[in-house]
Structure 1
Amino acid sequence: MNKRDFLKKTGIGALGALAIPSILGANKKIKALKPGGRLRTAHIGVGNMGAEDLRDIASHPQVDVVALCDVDAINLSAARKKYPKARIFADYRVMLADMKDTIDAVVISTPDHTHAPAAAHAMQMNKHVYCQKPLTHFVAESRQLKKLAEEKQLVTQMGIQVHSFYDYKLATLLIQDGIIGKVHTVHAWSPKNWGYKGTEPTGKDDVPAQLDWNLWLGTSPERPYKEGYYHPGNWRKLMDYGCGTLGDMGVHIMDTPYNALQLNVPMTIKNECQKTNGFGYPENNIVTYEFPGTDYTSDTLKWIWYDGPGMPPAHEDLVLPDGNGISHKRRTAIATDISLDAKKAAKGELPEQGAMFVGTKGRLLLPHFMQLPRKIQRGKYVDISKDIAKHNLGQPIRNYDSEGPKHYHEFVDACLGKATCSAPFGYAAKLTETILLGVIAGRFPNQTLHWDANNAKFAEPEANRFLKGAYREF
């Protein structure tokens, strides 16, 4: 397939920063299969996270895995051993063309730069799509995928599996109950480091025999292969392929506050970080967003994201009660909640990753992950057992093996007409857009960018060129 045909088919190549359709709009009726039928799935990317996605989708009793695709023959061989009836491919375009009549849904678990090209290609062929987070590599792509999902009436889900976990559902309900009043500030953090302050490598190495480097690059710019920089593990650090820590942990940790507060996209974005060389992302980011208000927030909402070593820095909103501020009953509940982070919280130490909602009636700490949210008021933890009980969610679930498949099975059931997806592209596009605006702000350190959501452009014209990318013919 040549470049012109590919871009025409996906509908992405024609997008410009000024012509991106609005992400707002009513959901249309979804085209689902018959509830009693079976879902035939094809999987693009079956190594690492793709192997987990494949396992959890396939664990649904009404799924038949019919196709596997990966640019790495070792990944493909391992998956084929578990699903020997599935056909195998290296090129997803060939797979979709050859099996267009025997695939119902496509699962995409590739590096970020391949998400939108593969998803759009599948959706143009009327296939339901489950796509790993972040939904896309560029803002323009997120808006296009949302538009395609609505026009084609397809079932879609972004792969943020913790979205369906007990504690995140609970935190959403508690915030929307007004447990801490109107929220005016959110802090969210991860010390994970998907930044790279080194220089772009020179020269080239031999491409491993099992890897199709051209297909791995896909629509991204041509670049010689260098061992240790790209495949399989370091692409998140690099601007051409990943979205940094924001695009990895940020999607998970920001998801619940974003969902609970029913936010749209931000009005302003500022990233306090080091200047980059245009190849790798900055290592420490402090991204401040300002959002328009909602029913659950003050007139505007301030959101601060921190990532990288040592994050978050000290802040009065993040001070926790020590053990003396906890009742015996609450201390016992925290100590038995789960693992080291719960015990750290009981000692007045922040969990390694998490979010803090700050409202007019207190604060709500949401550790990441599989730990109960904790209300803080006047410097003390507050017993919220009655608030929790009224939602009839049952006992907290602390088993990842049982929680993990829920988000995937929700997608399968939606395809079969038995459920509704909780993270469809209509939602995922907005969350991803928010994430990507923070990523773009990292190219303009310490400068406030102003975002016009209706026209999908920055007031600062120099930032607009990063809203989309040129697709390479491959």
Structure 2
Amino acid sequence: MNTKSSRRKFLQHSSVLAAAYWVGSSDQVWSQERSANEEIRFACIGVEGRGSSDRDEAGRHGHIVALCDIDEERLEKAALRFPQAKTFVDYRKMLDEIGGQIDAVTVSTPDHTHAPAAIRAMKMGKHCFCQEPLTYTVAEARMMRLLAAEKKLCTQMGNQGTSISGLREAVEVIRRGEIGDVKEIHVWTNRPIWAQGVGRPKTEVPCPPHIHWDLFLGPAKERPYNPAYAPFAWRGWLDFGTGALGEMACHTMNMAVKALELFDPISVEATPDTEWTGEARVESYPKSSVIKFGFGPRGKFSPCTLTWYDGGIRPDESLLMGETIGASGSLVIGDKGRIYSKNDYHAEFVILPKDSFNDRVKPEYIVSPGHFTEFANAIKQNKPEMAMSNFNYAGRLTETVLLGNVALRAGKKIMWDGDNMKITNDEAANQYITRVYRKGFEL
């Protein structure tokens, strides 16, 4: 991929983005040949791990016509559950051969292949359910948001907490001003629980015959197979994953981002652990980091900061007004009160100080029928907005999150121009907004 040419194309769309709305368009036509009463025909890309639950949800909400995975053992296991589905190891071949038989795809692959798979399907007019983080790069997140709007597609990102009542209630508590003016947010996680801050493996290991390593690499640079990369630990490697931040922030930052419209931070500054040097710095994410996002005024909301902590680092426990700090959590601090949740998905929360909110009346909110159900209903009713984590929202959330990794790799505080998708104080750092794609896996 020519990154300069790609960048120009994104900038040409900036005026469209400035007018982009919170939810999707509702004037989509599902198919001239198919009615809303017919089953949705799904193709599932990535069928084990998180892909197993996405695959099973697709089976409950429609008809699975195809399964795709680079691991033939995993593929065979999934095929036993869905024997009617055709099987593929290459999503490109699957879409080329039976694209006309597919209405929607699920994408549950490692982060670096989310966008290449999803965008290829979306360009063909396929609705898309994609795991979090939506993409590997900021540029991909914006492209998927634009493409979903252009094609009038129904979409949903797999940050299931968006559909949990606890999160939706907390969002409304903040929006109606119960905790007052918010200027400070803290979010932390117990991740990574995989290797980070390390260099490449030194030993050579033969690739098992059931794994199609070239297809696993996808857009990433070629490197020899090693079990240190897959099937689980890819998250910590710069070429494949998005680290602790990418793995968890679309969950744990979700409530604050949705409530306070924390999009397009004006500055991001990352402080990694001091051991993140040498080969480790160019191969994997740090063992721990603290990342501070700065946001300007946003409509009725005041400027604020959001501080992210990973690798066992946590904020000062005194901020919790006597509550016990959890291994993961989020704290939104207003001038009238605070919301604290130690649940990654915000299923439960407390408003602090407790004595000041004993007589509060709970706000109204829309109760979700289920995260995947929202997606399926959106397709059947031609209403993309029914899926609350559609790509118009999820794309912006993902951009905010991934700018933290950009700041990590830049090694300095970055100043961000969201409208033009450009770092304004370090031209060289703009290389981390996108990536170079290996031939055959371009967007």
Note whether the superposition's TM-score is higher than 0.5.
yes
* Partner residue in 2 for 1:344: none
* Partner residue in 2 for 1:30: 28
What is the DSSP-based 3-state SS (H/G/I as helix, E as strand, rest coil) of the residue aligned with 2:255?
helix
What is the DSSP-based 3-state SS (H/G/I as helix, E as strand, rest coil) of the residue aligned with 2:352?
strand
Percent identity of equivalent pairs: 34
May I ask how many residue pairs the two structures share in their alignment? 420
* Partner residue in 1 for 2:371: 407
Change (3 A) 1:40 1:18: closer
Contact 2:43-2:65 within 8 A present in 1 as well: yes
The C-alpha deviation readout for 1:107-143, integer Å capped at 9, x for no partner, is 0000000000001100111111111111111111111
* Partner residue in 2 for 1:349: 324
* Partner residue in 2 for 1:324: none
* Partner residue in 1 for 2:237: 238
2:407 and 2:261 map into 1 onto residues whose CA distance is 23
- Shifted more, 365-374 versus 110-119: the winner is 365-374
What is the DSSP-based 3-state SS (H/G/I as helix, E as strand, rest coil) of the residue aligned with 1:442?
helix
Contact 2:252-2:346 within 8 A present in 1 as well: no
* Partner residue in 2 for 1:156: 155
1:418: how far off?
6.2
Unaligned runs of 5+ in 1: 1-6, 322-347, 395-402
* 1:39-438 matched pairs, under 5 angstroms: 39-60=40-61, 63-193=62-192, 196-227=196-227, 229-274=228-273, 275-276=276-277, 277-295=281-299, 297-298=301-302, 300-309=303-312, 311-314=313-316, 316=318, 318-321=319-322, 348-368=323-343, 369=345, 371-377=347-353, 380-384=354-358, 386-388=360-362, 390-391=363-364, 406-417=370-381, 419=383, 420-438=386-404
1:269: how far off?
0.2
* Partner residue in 2 for 1:439: 405
1:179 and 1:239 map into 2 onto residues whose CA distance is 41
1:307: how far off?
0.8
What is the DSSP-based 3-state SS (H/G/I as helix, E as strand, rest coil) of the residue aligned with 2:338?
strand
1:382: how far off?
3.9
Change (3 A) 1:443 1:175: same
Contact 1:18-1:457 within 8 A present in 2 as well: no
1:204: how far off?
2.6
Contact 1:113-1:136 within 8 A present in 2 as well: yes
Aligned AA (1:356): L
Change (3 A) 1:352 1:461: same
Contact 2:320-2:340 within 8 A present in 1 as well: no
Aligned AA (1:215): L
TM, length-normalised to structure 1: 0.84
1:148 and 1:66 map into 2 onto residues whose CA distance is 24
2:186 and 2:300 map into 1 onto residues whose CA distance is 16
Contact 1:176-1:296 within 8 A present in 2 as well: no
Change (3 A) 1:109 1:188: same
What is the DSSP-based 3-state SS (H/G/I as helix, E as strand, rest coil) of the residue aligned with 2:99?
coil
Change (3 A) 1:25 1:465: same
Contact 2:317-2:324 within 8 A present in 1 as well: no
1:18 and 1:441 map into 2 onto residues whose CA distance is 23
1:252 and 1:164 map into 2 onto residues whose CA distance is 11
1:89 and 1:451 map into 2 onto residues whose CA distance is 41
2:82 and 2:270 map into 1 onto residues whose CA distance is 45
1:320 and 1:59 map into 2 onto residues whose CA distance is 44
1:245: how far off?
0.7
* Partner residue in 2 for 1:451: 416
Contact 2:163-2:371 within 8 A present in 1 as well: yes
The C-alpha deviation readout for 1:181-234, integer Å capped at 9, x for no partner, is 12111111102115612222235311012100000001111011112x111010
* Partner residue in 2 for 1:15: 6
1:434 and 1:409 map into 2 onto residues whose CA distance is 26
1:386: how far off?
3.7
1:351: how far off?
2.3
Change (3 A) 1:319 1:375: same
Over the residues paired in the alignment, what is the CA RMSD in angstroms?
2.2
Aligned AA (1:185): E
TM, length-normalised to structure 2: 0.89
1:313 and 1:355 map into 2 onto residues whose CA distance is 10
1:320: how far off?
2.7
2:187 and 2:359 map into 1 onto residues whose CA distance is 24
1:287: how far off?
0.6
Aligned AA (2:420): N
Contact 1:107-1:129 within 8 A present in 2 as well: yes
1:280: how far off?
0.5
- Shifted more, 418-427 versus 215-224: the winner is 418-427
2:56 and 2:113 map into 1 onto residues whose CA distance is 21
